[in-house]
Structure 1
Amino acid sequence: MENLTIEVVKDGNIEQCRELCNELMAFQKSMAVMAPESFDTMTFDTRMKKSYENALASQVIVVKDNGTPVGYVFSTIDNIEHSKNMIPAWAPVEDLTTTKGFYPDWADLPNKVGLLNNLYLRDEYRASGLGSKLFERAMEWLESFDDVDVIFVFVSNGNDAALKFYLSRGFTYSHEVFDGFITAVYKFKNAEPNPR
């Protein structure tokens, strides 16, 4: 861990995160207490690459040890107008009339939101403070958008350590997505009152 670097991907080369993203999906599956088989279709191609390509803006920051990627954080700015009630193919539900989707049913939920999509470090780097550094860098970027007031993070079921991490950093519980398959948390950029 002597030759660690933290680099913002500026050339669009997110392919360097492929292996790490797939490790994250496998980790989430191993932690899941609800529908772990749903993670079988979640990969770099179906999750990160697709989100990166469809976002209004994206940022990927990679941690490297001697030039080898060992962790990353991936954030996006998205217009959710058409995806508020979307059910992805991997979701363990069929009907949103009986369960909540990704976003809360706030009357004033903005169409443009920030998302901290993935934050992952390989095991041996997790107690090093790198996760906090990546989180802080991602939040600086997300909060730099004048027209984005709320940031969401979606935590997979069973990943209690991640949920605790975000709650300890100012995020607030929002709701259970797809009957508890995912927990949604949010944070207002300017500490606005709770809309619920």
Structure 2
Amino acid sequence: MSTITIEVVTDGNIEPCRVLCDELMAFQQSKAVMAPELFDMMNFDTRMRRSYDHALRTHVLIVKDGDVPVGYAFSSVSNVEQEDLGIPAWAPNQEQEGSKGFYPDWIETPQRIGFLSNLYLRDGYRSMGLGSKLFNMSMTWLESFSDVDLLFIYVSNGNEEALDFYLKQGFTYSHDVFGGFIKAVYRKLEK
């Protein structure tokens, strides 16, 4: 029997997440009920790498079965300015008339915001409590910053299981992004 471990990336090498991130994009595409073809543009380089490179602070956890990566969580902290209120660096430009961007109208800028950007486990590792462990470790990291009092998670359309999980963890539905392609949930932190 292999040993399951969770490692924190401390050297900036997120390359072990490449295949897993691409699997996550394919998983999200398989769940999507709205515009699944948009996921054809999304992969490690366009989503995780781009977001990682643009963030002020990053936290990556990798779940390994022996030496094989089988899951990961990626969290970040970014400074959101007024000009950033529409589309983050990793997102495809999919603005539609009347469609909200990634942040609700009540966001005050500038503001440091924490994000749980990706959480993924391969099939066969999803019923072992690892997702909750990754989520809790990510929240502990995000909540550790005195200058962050707002967290966001963006859930792809069709992934109702993930949306329900985050809502049960104390997040609140905020708004639809790009007319429902993504659901935004948030949690205000008491500081």
Question: Is the TM value for this pair above 0.5?
Answer: yes
Q: Does 1:90 align with 2:97?
A: no
Alpha carbons 1:72, 1:118 under 8 Å: kept: yes
State the alpha-carbon separation in 2 of the partners of residues 175 and 98 from structure 1: 13
Contact 2:9 2:60 in 1 (8 A): yes
Q: Is the 8 Å Cα contact of residues 171 and 186 (structure 2) preserved in structure 1?
A: yes
Alpha-carbon distance, 1:108 to partner: 3.4
Superposed counterparts of 1:25-104, under 5 Å: 25-81=25-81, 82-86=83-87, 90-91=92-93, 93-95=94-96, 97-104=97-104
Residue aligned with 2:87, SS: coil
The one-letter code matched in structure 2 to 1:99 is S
Q: Structure 1: which 5+ residue stretches go unaligned?
A: 192-196
Aligned to 1:160: 160
CA deviations 1:133-185 (Å, max 9, x no partner) are 00000000000000000000000000000000000000000000110000000
Normalised by the size of structure 2, how large is the TM-score? 0.94
Q: Indicate the residue corresponding to 1:129 in structure 2.
A: 129
What are the ranges of 5 or more consecutive residues in structure 2 without an aligned counterpart?
none
1:36–1:73 Cα change, 3 Å = same
Residue 94 of structure 1 deviates from its aligned partner by 3.8
Preserved contact between residue 174 and residue 185 of structure 2 (Cα < 8 Å): yes
Show CA shifts across 1:109-153 (max 9, x none).
652100000000001000000000000000000000000000000
Contact 2:80 2:109 (8 Å CA) reproduced: no
Instruction: Find the aligned partners of 1:90 and 1:108 in 2 and give their Cα distance.
Output: 24
**Normalized against structure 1, the TM-score is what?**
0.92
State how far apart, in whole Å, the 2-side matches of 1:29 and 1:182 are. Answer: 12
Contact 2:95 2:101 in 1 (8 A): no
Farther-moved stretch of structure 1 (136-145 vs 78-87): 78-87
Partner SS, residue 46 of structure 2: helix
Partner residue in 2 for 1:13? 13
* Equivalences, count: 189
Cα drift, residue 98 of structure 1: 1.0
